[in-house]
Amino acid sequence: MDQSDVRLAFFDLDETITDRDTDMLWAMWRIKKNPLMGIAEILRLIFLNRAYRRGRLTGARYMRYQRFRTLFLSPERYSKLAEKFFVEYGRRHIWNEAAKIIDEYEKRGVPTVMITAQNSIIAGYFARHLGMSAVIGNSFLQEDGRFTRAVEPYAFREGKIFWAGDYAGRYNIAFSECAFYSDSINDVPLLEKVGAPVVVNPDRLLEEKARREGWKILRFVSLTRSAAI
């Protein structure tokens, strides 16, 4: 599929739009604000990332980490922390090439949608900064000013197919008319579904898959001007 025929472009967040995993960036930032919580998060992420890199992490296990991250935080407080994290730290890690591609799509009238396993509150600050049309991420229901259970299906692996299809279906856009940019082997289900799969700085397993399938491979190397702020 030619990129000029794309009607909707989906983008993963971690290590596709950003140069590093945003969960780990968040945890490193949290150490400065709440050392005990930050260290606890990093220890959990070390084990999660091992499974993730091998394509063995389950959505349920990952969402237990996200629930731990929100302990003792109201949705309002969590949103304020997410904004501070993005302004002080997160925006420094956006790939310049990703920002340009997103901007080019939007200028052509092609909606860009972030679809990520990251919490939608944190991911939303990245998406709005980049001028994206929408963000799809994991989230929790809210009741009486607190987070409750996670929304299912999770925006992870096959779950991304559900949410991408739900969004595209609202505008009568077929998967064959969509592009998806990702770096991870965990996103193969959606990459196989769209008409224009694009892998970005792929991990070893995904690069092997992309070369077998003849998918486009991009290498991002420079950060946006936000990195200098």
Q: What Å distances lie between residue 165 and 2, 115, 159, CA to CA?
A: 20, 11, 10
Rounded-to-integer distance, Cα 57 and Cα 50, Å: 8
Give the pLDDT of residue 51. Answer: 86
Q: Which pLDDT band holds residue 227 (cuts at 50, 70, 90)?
A: very low
Rounded percentage of the chain residues whose pLDDT exceeds 70: 98
Give the pLDDT of residue 57. Answer: 87
Rounded-to-integer distance, Cα 51 and Cα 46, Å: 9
Query: Would you report the helix, strand and coil content of the chain in percent, each value rounded to 5?
Result: 55, 20, 25
Q: What Å distances lie between residue 111 and 11, 53, 61, 172, 218, CA to CA?
A: 11, 30, 31, 13, 20
Give the pLDDT of residue 225. Answer: 59
Give the pLDDT of residue 38. Answer: 86
Q: How far separated are the first and last CA of the chain, in Å rounded?
A: 38
Express each pLDDT in 102-146 by its tens digit: 999 999 999 999 999 999 999 999 999 999 999 999 999 999 999
What is the H or E stretch that residue 191 is in?
helix 188-193
Express each pLDDT in 47-106 by its tens digit: 898 888 888 889 899 999 999 999 889 999 999 999 999 999 999 999 999 999 999 999
Rounded-to-integer distance, Cα 117 and Cα 74, Å: 20
Non-local CB neighbours of 226 within 8 Å, separated by 6+ positions = 91, 92, 94, 129
pTM score, whole prediction? 0.93
CATH number of 3-228: 3.40.50.1000
Give the chain's mean pLDDT.
93
Short-list 186, 177, 220, CA closest to 200: 220
Express each pLDDT in 143-180 by its tens digit: 999 999 999 999 999 999 999 999 999 999 999 999 99
Give the pLDDT of residue 178. Answer: 98
